[in-house]
Structure 1
């Protein structure tokens, strides 16, 4: 991970499957301001492609980075989304 930004808020959607990580991310982004960065924690492996596709097709957001780590015995996919 080469994080060069400050996280404004963290959204924990661990244990939730498609489409909830994207739905909850969109809801959270709607409450943020331009320049804010949302950190999304997910356990759904599909969240990598789902959030990437959503960010690519959504005006006003940018997917900055995605990372994968082991946390409490499970794989956690961390996504960083910036409001443009």
Structure 2
């Protein structure tokens, strides 16, 4: 069981670096504090790219990442 509820889903499947991070930032900026954005990506690099971005960006927290067969799912919480 997770300790977060998805507020919105962003589909960036088929897009490569840096677009998953760019689109995630654009979308998270529009959400309320506490919202959780689910990001669906097919770029394997998104695992490290989104993690690195969240680590160096104030106001966001990477709460979970899941690696599927073809889709990488990321959960980002807006913290401020």
Shift >3 Å, 4+ stretches: none
Shift of 1:68: 1.2
* Number of the residue aligned with 1:32: 31
The equivalences for 1:1-84 within 5 A come to: 2-70=1-69, 75-84=70-79
By percentage of residues, which structure has more strand?
1
Shift of 1:4: 2.2
Give aligned pairs, total: 79
Shift of 1:3: 2.4
SS in 1 for 2:57: coil
Aligned-partner Cα distance in 1 for 2:31–2:45: 24
The TM-score with structure 2 as length reference comes to 0.95
Aligned-partner Cα distance in 2 for 1:36–1:58: 16
Which runs of 5 or more structure 1 residues have no equivalent in the other structure?
none
